[in-house]
Amino acid sequence: MIVSHKGDIKAVKIENPQAKDATMKVLVSPTEGWEGYVMRILEIEVGGYTPKHNHPWPHINYVVSGKGRLHLDGKDIDVEAGSFAYVPSDTTHQFSNIGNEVFEFICIVPEEGHK
C-alpha cells in the first residue's frame, strides 16, 4: 500500500533534444506493488512540449491542470483539466502546453513503456 503526495516526489527532466521544459514524476509503479503498470505525472512549462514520438504500447492520459494540445496521429486536439485520452500503440503523439500556466497530466503506461 502507498499513500503519498506528488510534492514529495522528485521531478526528473525529460532528457530528449525534441522535448522542451517537460518533467516527469513516477507516482506508482511495480516498485510500490502495482505489477505491470506505471502511473506518472508530467508537468510541461508554458511553451514546452514532449517529443513527437510513437512506441509499441498504448497509454492513458488524464489532464490535471492547465491547457494543452495533443498531437495524435496527425490531428491536433486541445485538452484541458478534466480531459482524458487513450493513445493506441504505434500512434505518433506529442503533448504541448498552449496555456499560461503549467500543463499537468497523468500518464499510465505498461511497465515496458517506462524507461
pLDDT band, residue 2 (cuts 50/70/90): confident
- pLDDT score for 112: 86
pLDDT above 80 (res 115): no
Render pLDDT for 102-114 as a digit per residue (tens, 0 to 9). 999 999 999 988 8
pLDDT score recorded for residue 79: 99
- Which pLDDT value is given to residue 1? 80
Domains in the chain with CATH codes: 9-113 (2.60.120.10)
Q: What is the pLDDT of residues 42-59, one digit of tens each?
A: 999 999 999 999 999 999
pTM score, whole prediction: 0.94
Residue 75 reports pLDDT greater than 80:
yes
Render pLDDT for 17-28 as a digit per residue (tens, 0 to 9).
Answer: 999 999 999 999
89 neighbors 57 (Cβ within 8 angstroms): yes
Element (H, E) at 46: strand 37-49
